[in-house]
Amino acid sequence: MRLSDLYFLMPLLILVGAATLNMLVVAVKRNHKVIFGITIVAHLVAVFTLLQLNGSSYQIPPFFVMDGWGIFNLGLILLTSLFVTLLSYAYFEQREERKEEYYLLLILATLGACVLVISQHFMALFLGLEILSVALYSLIAYLRTRERSDEAGIKYLILAALSSAFLLFGMALVYAVTGTMSFPEIGVYLQSVSELPLLLLTGFGLMIVGIGFKLGIVPFHMWAPDVYEGAPAPVTAFIATVSKGGMMGLLIRFFSQADAYRYANLMLIFTIIAIASMLAGNLLALRQKNIKRLLAYSSIAHLGYILVAFLAGNRLGVEAVSFYLVAYFITSLGAFGVVALLSDTERDADQLEDYRGLFWRRPATAAVFTAMLLSLAGIPLTAGFVGKFYILASGVNTQQWLLVLMLVLNSVIGLYYYIKVIAAMFAQTKSVQERRKVLHPALSFASGGAMAILGLLLIWIGVYPTSLVQLIRGLLATFMTTF
Amino acid sequence: MNEIPEVIRTIPLQYYLFFSSTLFVIGIIGVLTRRNAIIIFMCIELMLNAVNLLLTAFSAYRSDANGQVFVFFIMAVAAAEVCVGLAIIVMIYRNLRSTDINILSNLKW
Amino acid sequence: MENLLWLVPALPFAGALILIITGTRLSRPLVSLIGVGSVGVSALLTLILGSQFLSAGPTEPVYQQVVWQWFSVEGFNPGIAFHLDALSMVFIFVITFVGFLIHLYSTAYMADDDGFARFFAYLNLFVGSMLVLVLADNLVLLYLGWEGVGLCSYLLIGFWYKEPANGYAARKAFIITRVGDTALAIGLFMLFQLFGTLHIQTIATEAPQTWAVGSQAATIIAFLLLGGAVGKSGQLPLQTWLPDAMAGPTPVSALIHAATMVTAGVYLITRMHVIFELAPTAMLTVAIIGAVTLLIAGCAALAQSDLKRVLAYSTISQIGYMFLALGVGAWSAGIFHFMIHAFFKALLFLSAGAIIISLHHEQNMFRMGGLRKLLPAVFWTFLIGSASLAALPLITAGFYSKDQILWYAMAGERGNTWLYLAGLLGAFITAIYTFRMVFITFYGAPKSHVTHPPGPIITVPLIILAVLSLLGGFIELPHNFGHVVLFSDFLTPLLPAIHANDALGTSEWIFQLVAAIISLSGVYLAYVFYLQKPALQANMEQSSLFRAVHRFWYSGWGFDKLYDTLFVRPYVFLARINKNDIIDKIYAALAAIAQVLNRSLAQTQSGILRWYMMGVVVGALLIITLSLLP
B61-79 confidence digits (pLDDT tens): 888 888 999 999 999 999 9
Q: For residues C138 and C489, which has the higher predicted lDDT (pLDDT)?
A: C138
In a shared domain, residues C402 and C515 = yes
More confident position, C207 or C58: C207
Number of H helices, E strands in chain C: 29, 2
Is residue C265 within 8 Å of residue C229, measured between CB atoms? Answer: yes
pLDDT-wise least confident of A276-280, A334-338, C208-212: C208-212
pLDDT at A267 over 70: yes
Q: Are residues C347 and C460 in the same domain?
A: yes
pLDDT score at B6 = 81
- The whole-number pLDDT of residue A123 equals 94
Do C240 and C371 reside in the same domain of the chain?
A: no
For residue C58, is pLDDT > 60?
no
pLDDT band at C76 (very low <50, low <70, confident <90, very high): low
In a shared domain, residues C362 and C244: no
Domain assignment of residue C317, yes or no? no
- Which residue ranges form the domains of chain B, and what is each CATH number? 4-100 (1.10.287.3510)
Domain boundaries, chain A: 3-482
- Percentage of chain C with pLDDT > 70? 94
Cα radius of gyration (chain B) = 18
Least confident of A22-31, A168-177, C227-236: C227-236
Q: Is the predicted pLDDT of residue C60 greater than 80, yes or no?
A: no
So what's the pLDDT on residue C601?
Answer: 85
Query: Quick check: C402 and C322 in contact, CB under 8 A?
Result: no
What is the residue-averaged pLDDT of chain C? Answer: 82
Residue C208 falls inside a structural domain: no
Residue of chain A with shortest Cα separation from B83: A134
Among C193, C220, C249, the domain-final residue is: C249
Q: Name which of C51-60, C128-137, C360-369 the model is least confident about.
A: C51-60
Cis peptide before C237 (omega within 30 of 0): yes
Q: Is residue C26 part of a domain?
A: yes
Better-scored residue on pLDDT, B49 or C65: B49
Mean pLDDT is lowest, of A439-453, C325-339, C565-579, for A439-453
Q: How many CA atoms lie within 13 A of A294 on its CB side?
A: 25
Question: How far is the C-alpha of B47 from the C-alpha of B31, rounded, in Å?
Answer: 10
Are C242 and C375 in a shared domain? no
Neighbouring residues of C327: CB distance < 8 A, sequence distance ≥ 6: C283, C284, C285, C286, C287, C288, C289, C290, C414, C419
Average pLDDT over residues C565-586: 79
Interface of B with A in 19-78 (CB under 8 A): 24, 27, 31, 37, 40-41, 44, 47-48, 50-51, 54-55, 58, 62, 64, 66-67, 69-70, 73-74, 77
CA-closest candidate to residue A167, choices A125, A198, A133:
A125
Residue C535 has pLDDT above 80, yes or no: no
Closest to A126 measured CA to CA, from A65, A200, A199, A207: A207
> Mean of the pLDDT values across residues A153-180?
92
Domain with C357 in it: 333-532
- Is residue C133, in this structure, part of any structural domain at all? yes
pLDDT at C79 over 80: no
Confidence of residue A440 (pLDDT cuts 50, 70, 90): low
The answer to whether C89 touches C493, Cβ cutoff 8 Å, is no
Band (pLDDT 50/70/90 cuts) for residue C503 is low
Out of C607, C616, C623, closest to residue A159 by CB: C616
pLDDT for the residue C570: 84
The answer to whether C587 contacts chain A (CB < 8 Å) is: no
Q: Could you tell me the sign of the dihedral formed by the alpha carbons of A331, A335, A338, A343, in that order?
A: negative
Q: List pLDDT tens digits, range C373-421.
A: 777 888 888 888 888 888 877 777 888 888 888 888 887 777 788 888 8
Is there a single domain that holds both residue C245 and residue C352?
A: no
Once rounded to an integer, what is the mean pLDDT over residues B77-100? 89
Residue A444, C-beta contacts closer than 8 angstroms, at least 6 positions apart: A90, A341
- Mutation target to probe the C interface, by most C beta carbons within 10 A, among B40, B44, B105 is B105
Contact in structure between A123 and A96 (CB atoms under 8 Å): no
Distance (Å, whole) CA C486 – CA C46: 19
Q: Is a pLDDT exceeding 50 seen at residue A428?
A: yes
With CA atoms as reference, the chain C residue closest to B106 would be C607
Q: How many domains does chain C have?
A: 2
Does the beta-carbon distance from B107 to C607 stay under 8 Å?
A: yes
Asked if C23 and C160 sit in the same domain, the reply is yes
Asked if the structure places residue C162 within a domain, the reply is yes
Both C392 and C243 in one domain: the answer is no
pLDDT in tens, C165-189: 888 888 888 888 888 889 889 988 8
Is C594 in contact with A265 (Cβ distance < 8 A)?
no
The predicted structure's pLDDT at residue C621: 92
| Confidence (pLDDT) at A483 | 47
Q: Provide the pLDDT for residue A16.
A: 95
C154 & C18 share domain: yes
A127 vs C516, higher pLDDT: A127
Is the Cβ pair C607, B108 closer than 8 Å? Answer: yes
C208-258 tens-digit pLDDT: 888 877 788 888 888 888 888 888 888 888 888 888 888 788 888 888 887
Same domain assignment for residues C244 and C362: no
**How far is the alpha carbon of C76 from chain A, nearest alpha carbon, in Å?**
20
Average pLDDT over residues A179-189: 90
Q: Which residue has the higher pLDDT, C451 or C183?
A: C183
Question: Is C14 within a domain?
Answer: yes
Whether C337 and C245 map to the same domain: the answer is: no
Weakest-pLDDT range from A239-243, A296-300, C302-306: C302-306
Average pLDDT, chain A: 88
Count of Cβ atoms closer than 10 Å to residue A448 Cβ: 18
User: C335-369, pLDDT tens digit by residue?
Assistant: 888 888 888 888 888 888 888 887 777 778 777 77
Q: What is the identity of the amino acid at A131?
A: I
pLDDT at C445 exceeding the cut of 80: no
C-alpha–C-alpha distance, residues A331 and A320, integer Å: 16
C243 and C337 assigned to the same domain: no
> Which residues touch A93 (CB under 8 Å, ≥6 apart)?
A32, A99, A439, A443
Mean of pLDDT values over A412-439 = 76
- Report the complex ipTM: 0.95
Q: Note whether residue C327 is domain-resident.
A: no
Q: Which one of A227, A286, A412, A415 would you mutate to disrupt binding with C, by most C Cβ within 10 Å of its Cβ? A: A286
